Structure 1
Amino acid sequence: MYNVDSSNVKSIFSINRASAFQVFYSLVPSHLAERCLLFCSWFVYFVLGSYIALSTSIIDTKETNDMYLSFDNSTTLYFGSVEKPTHPLTKFFYLPFSLLHDLFVKYGINEKYFSLIVLLFCSFFVAASVFFCFKYVQNIVKIDIWPALLISVFYSVFGGCIILSFTPETFTFSLFLLSLSVYVVSFILIVNQKPSIWYYIVFGTLIGGQTVTNAPKVAIPLLYEKSSFRQKIVKFIIVVFCISAMILMRYKFDLLSFFMLIWRGQVNIPVQIFLCGIHLFLIFSVAMYLFLR
């Protein structure tokens, strides 16, 4: 009979506290260039967004679909998301904003103030993404501070960053989470550590819950881990489980009804979910090739 090695199970779920604190402190701006980049980009994004919000009705309008560049601001901000399979947890991420908006409406407060609060967070998410880009280029790629700063500033003026800085959409939060996860896992790997299973659970849930098709990106570090193949398989299965659970939780895990709705064409399962499965399969195939050859 096969016996499960309890030490392997514990090692998978264990957390290196020293490494965790090291990662946490690495996320804090440590010198003047990092502080200037973070707060200056945050300030510039917020000023730009404030001008747009106060002079237009981009944020506080109640139009539900395709406001500009195919963004669904009000659908995301006020209603969570209508696409249950692709954005399963977006409604919960934006629930505080929905509740805050209800308070503004209840007490008759000008909704422009609500727009400014939303902009404060949107601009911070994009500014933090620029900051993580700088940290990655400097600490992971090992580029000198001035070229790294130049690359980060160049990245900050991309059209996508500028638009997302005043756009309360799933892309804004996804940009922040993906930038954070890439830097965190790269930092862990570069100090010769291996990501805990909790990294895959937490970031897999947050990133996949925001946009399901981004969830396979959380599994990519498995290709670079210095751990046993069995542990890689366990972590991969957990990522797949998190994705499946997030999709099905919006349907109360009623598998029969869920698949019947798909069969009848009443649930729109877009091509993105199929591509998500393809991505996971490709990552798994590459992992099998690298670690079994």
Structure 2
Amino acid sequence: MKKLINKFLSILKAVFPSTKKEFLIFLFFVMIYGANAWFIADNFRIVYDNRIPWDAYFSFDNRAIVQTGGGFERHPLANYFFGCIRDFALWISGNRYDSVFRLVLALFSTVVISLANVQIFKYLNNIIQLPLKISLLILAFYGLFVTNILLSFTPETYTYTLLFLSVFNYYSARKIQEGKPVSFGATILGSVVIGGLTITNIVKVYIPFLFEKNIFWKWKRIGMAVSKITVSAGIFIFLFLVRLDFNFQNFLHKTEEQYDKFSTQKVTPLWDMICSWFVGGNVLFSGYEIRDYHNKDKTFFFKALFMDVYSSVFPYLFIAVLLLMIGWGIFRNYKNKLVWILVISFSVDILIHCILKFGLHTSYIYGGHFVFVYPLLLGWLFFSYRKKTTVLSLFYGMLLLMTVYLAFSNFYRLAEFYQFLQAFYQ
């Protein structure tokens, strides 16, 4: 019993702030994100409107996610997860889909994204062991990303996926750093929770097994890793089939439909979709495009907001510098196991969106699956120059300038978003 209690407490310590610095960081982001979430949820109906089926802003499917967990072919177990959140929000609001209901959903998202940011700080501070001022600068830069701003008030699968992936990445990094294997329980829990919210992300739970100590030199270790993967995948598949009523043919049919729908080549050049939406759209807001939408029955018409590609040279330069820094960080740490876990994890999303082109035209909404990789790879870049103060200061100054530019640009675009809400969603 004592062992179970200690295990539970260690999980809480890993997920939630466990030091004064972590608590202050969490509180800071809750206040900043929370003020924005409160303003939007209390004054506008964009967070949840029963009349809007999908795509009210940036292609997020808030209503569908809250009501059903989204399509089972992509989010197989999300309905159970969001059912609890929806019921709690309705209990607080007195069973009404009003501003209180929206506020509960939005503040849940605020807390989740703030906790995800704490995970990034834990990794920078405890795994990479960067100086505090560097960790805080990287965290401030990351906290201003489009993904974090939008998900901090949006009830979506991406919101919770970002937290769960950040937690699991930090946990597995600690295990590998300590020379210990990922536990059976963590593998099962990670597979069900992460894969249950977005099915393709289950692969990321198994990537750390490739880098466990002596994994390819001892048959016993290989056997244990295979058994963990097999059992966890088996449990996930069983729960998935129960969700489908064991009608797997329907899953294949729906998956084919979704791929055909979301992988059609758009007019925008491939390189620009990758730069402006897949890479840049999760970091730096671009201009907006307003479109006319309606529900299936054409009984309700509404305005929907989407991101356009960048229209100025400066955002492209910003993204180019960011990619160069990340790429150089990978090159400088090419022997580091933890860096390769991040790279392979990111490669899964590159394959899905950039090569297979699934959802590339709206890939700015998928940041919750991979955007946490950016600050961590920047952290490893700083780590590689820890003994070269001149170069370290140069990178620090460059990132500081980028953070200032990011803040001004994203706050300006956020103000434009408010104008859109005031015009169409009061």
User: TM-score, length-normalised on structure 2?
Assistant: 0.54
Give the aligned residue type for 2:241: L
State the match for 1:234 in structure 2.
Answer: 227
Of 13, 22, 29, the match for 1:41:
29
Alignment of 1:124-273 (within 5 A): 124-226=111-213, 227=215, 228-254=221-247, 258-259=248-249, 261=250, 265=253, 267-269=254-256, 270-271=258-259
- Give the unaligned 5+ runs of structure 2: 216-220, 261-344, 352-426
Partner deviation per Cα, 1:2-24 (whole Å, 9 max, x = no partner): xxxxxxxxxxxxx9987775564
Partner deviation per Cα, 1:114-172 (whole Å, 9 max, x = no partner): 11111221001100111000000110111111211111111111011000001001100
Paired residues of 2:30 and 2:111 also in contact (CA < 8 A): yes
Partner deviation per Cα, 1:239-279 (whole Å, 9 max, x = no partner): 4324433432222224xxx32x467x4x344449xxx9x96
Give the aligned residue type for 2:81: F
Is 1:118 the counterpart of 2:105 in the alignment?
yes
Q: Distance in 2 between matches of 1:237 and 1:110?
A: 42
Give the aligned residue type for 1:74: R
Alignment of 1:103-114 (within 5 A): 103=91, 107=94, 111-114=98-101
Q: Distance in 2 between matches of 1:167 and 1:216?
A: 25
State the match for 1:68 in structure 2.
Answer: 57
RMSD: 2.9
Q: Distance in 1 between matches of 2:128 and 2:38?
A: 35
Give the aligned residue type for 1:85: E
Partner deviation per Cα, 1:209-242 (whole Å, 9 max, x = no partner): 1110111000011012235111122122234324
% identical aligned pairs? 26
Of 96, 102, 116, the match for 2:84:
96
Paired residues of 1:126 and 1:175 also in contact (CA < 8 A): yes
Say which is worse superposed, 17-26 or 219-228, in terms of deviation.
17-26
Q: Distance in 1 between matches of 2:6 and 2:31?
A: 34
Distance 1:262 1:143, change over 3 A: closer
Q: Distance in 2 between matches of 1:98 and 1:119?
A: 12
Q: Distance in 2 between matches of 1:195 and 1:113?
A: 41
Give the aligned residue type for 2:37: G
Say which is worse superposed, 144-153 or 224-233, in terms of deviation.
224-233
Q: Secondary structure at the match of 1:65?
A: coil
Q: Distance in 2 between matches of 1:251 and 1:86?
A: 12
Is 1:80 the counterpart of 2:73 in the alignment?
no
Partner deviation per Cα, 1:166-199 (whole Å, 9 max, x = no partner): 1001100101111111111112222222111111
Paired residues of 1:19 and 1:188 also in contact (CA < 8 A): no
Paired residues of 2:29 and 2:114 also in contact (CA < 8 A): yes
Give the aligned residue type for 2:133: W
- Give the unaligned 5+ runs of structure 1: 1-14, 283-293
Q: Secondary structure at the match of 1:88?
A: coil
- How many residue pairs were aligned? 254
Deviation at 1:27, TM superposition (A): 4.3
State the match for 2:44 in structure 1.
Answer: 56
Q: Distance in 1 between matches of 2:97 and 2:169?
A: 39
Say which is worse superposed, 156-165 or 70-79, in terms of deviation.
70-79
